[in-house]
């Protein structure tokens, strides 16, 4: 029988002049004996030997050894690291500022009052009826003594929000008498005065002795007269206090003259309201019930 020609025998891909008589222990490729290299008890072709060597290097580099940690520390690109940390710090600062300002922002009282009236379709103030000098009813207020703190300005006295979360009104001092003028856009019939003290204020700042003066228009068209219509003493309590007038009176502007408080350095009040007798405050179908602020 004739021998097989060398040209028909498989050749080693790494040594083409040699016959491939052995197999790689990993990929089983036929190679020549000189192409094989021992690795961990296996005979591997050059390609598989290189791959095994790279895998071993990767495993060694992944180990948490002092040498590896030191090499990584030396290879850090510090300028890029500083830039990255700076960008992160800027974003954290912006986020922190937004969270801080949002958490400490005071809600707009008038926005709250408009929303409440809009949802309830009702101008009622704490179950007392229509306050005709409230800001939403175009009432105007001024005082002979006013705190410079914008959180405690004169609007807080007639914003229709005697709720605790809304800041109180404050005078600048306790130099009595202190006059608070409350005016409506047109003559109104006044039947009662309601005083709300603020639960977060010192009770020594609550008003005590008060005189109520009404500016009564002349039916004949003459000059209006200022008339003392009530003398009241408010208690140093946080609950609302209702003072009914002996006689209802028509007034264009009303002076609430505070003659004393309970010893504080200024006067405070959550709300002072002037109310019509028996006026329907509902003007539509309510969407939610009225209640205290959360």
Return the pLDDT at 285: 58
**Mean per-residue pLDDT, 204-217:** 96
CATH 2.60.120.260 boundaries in the chain: 109-275
Considering the entire predicted model, what is its pTM? 0.63
Helix (H, G, I), strand (E, B) or coil at 13: coil
Q: 89-101, pLDDT tens digit by residue?
A: 998 988 888 877 7
DSSP character at residue 156: G
Choose between 200 and 283: higher pLDDT.
200
pLDDT of residue 167: 92
- Nearest CA to 144 out of 167, 174, 186 is that of 174
CATH of domain 109-275: 2.60.120.260
Bridge partners, residue 169, by sequence: 269
User: By mean pLDDT, which of 56-65, 94-103, 270-279 is the weakest?
Assistant: 94-103
pLDDT score, position 155: 94
pLDDT one-digit tens code per residue, 144-198: 999 999 999 999 999 999 987 899 999 999 999 999 999 999 999 999 999 999 9
> Is the pLDDT assigned to residue 2 strictly greater than 70?
no
- Whole-angstrom CA distances from 20 to 27, 36, 44, 178 are 14, 11, 14, 113
Cis amide bond preceding 177, omega within 30 = yes
Q: What is the C-alpha to C-alpha distance for residues 144 and 177, in angstroms, rounded to an integer? A: 9
- When pLDDT is averaged across residues 117-129 and rounded to a whole number, the result is 88
pLDDT of residue 163: 81
Over 50: is that where the pLDDT of 294 sits?
no
In the chain, the DSSP E strands lie at: 22-23, 30-31, 37-39, 42-44, 140-143, 169-170, 178-196, 209-216, 225-233, 241-258, 268-269, 271-275
Residue 293: predicted pLDDT:
47
Which range is least confidently modeled, 58-62, 139-143, 276-280, 289-293? 289-293
pLDDT, position 96: 84
Quote the CA–CA distance of 179 and 198 in Å, as a whole number: 19
Mean pLDDT across 21-45? 92
Provide mean pLDDT across the span 73-82.
80
Residue with tokens 């200024």: 266
Q: What is the pLDDT of residue 99?
A: 79
Q: Please report the pLDDT score of residue 284 as a whole number.
A: 59
């Amino acid at each position: 029988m004739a021998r097989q020609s060398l040209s028909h025998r498989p050749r080693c891909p790494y040594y083409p002049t040699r016959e491939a008589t052995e197999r790689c222990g990993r990929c089983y490729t036929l190679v020549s004996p000189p192409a094989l290299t021992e690795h961990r008890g296996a005979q591997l072709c050059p390609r598989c030997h290189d791959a095994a060597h790279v895998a071993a290097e990767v495993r060694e580099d992944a180990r948490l050894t002092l040498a590896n940690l030191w090499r990584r520390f030396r290879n850090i690109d510090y300028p890029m690291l500083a830039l990255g940390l700076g960008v992160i710090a800027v974003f954290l600062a912006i986020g922190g500022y937004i969270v801080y300002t949002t958490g400490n922002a005071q809600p707009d009282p008038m926005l709250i009052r408009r929303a409440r009236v809009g949802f309830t379709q009702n101008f009622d103030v704490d179950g007392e009826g229509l306050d005709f000098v409230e800001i939403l009813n175009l009432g105007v207020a001024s005082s002979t003594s006013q705190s410079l703190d914008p959180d405690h300005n004169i609007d807080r006295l007639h914003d229709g929000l005697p709720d605790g979360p809304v800041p109180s009104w404050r005078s600048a001092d306790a130099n009595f008498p202190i006059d608070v003028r409350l005016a409506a856009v047109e003559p109104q019939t006044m039947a009662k005065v309601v005083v709300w003290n603020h639960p977060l204020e010192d009770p020594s700042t609550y008003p005590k002795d008060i005189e109520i003066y009404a500016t009564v228009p002349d039916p004949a068209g003459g000059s209006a007269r200022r008339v003392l219509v009530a003398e009241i003493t408010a208690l140093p309590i946080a609950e609302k206090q209702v003072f009914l007038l002996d006689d209802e009176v028509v007034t264009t502007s009303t002076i609430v003259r505070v003659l004393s408080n309970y010893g504080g350095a200024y006067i405070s009040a959550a709300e002072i309201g002037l109310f019509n007798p028996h006026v329907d405050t509902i003007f539509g179908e309510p969407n939610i019930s009225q209640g205290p602020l959360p």
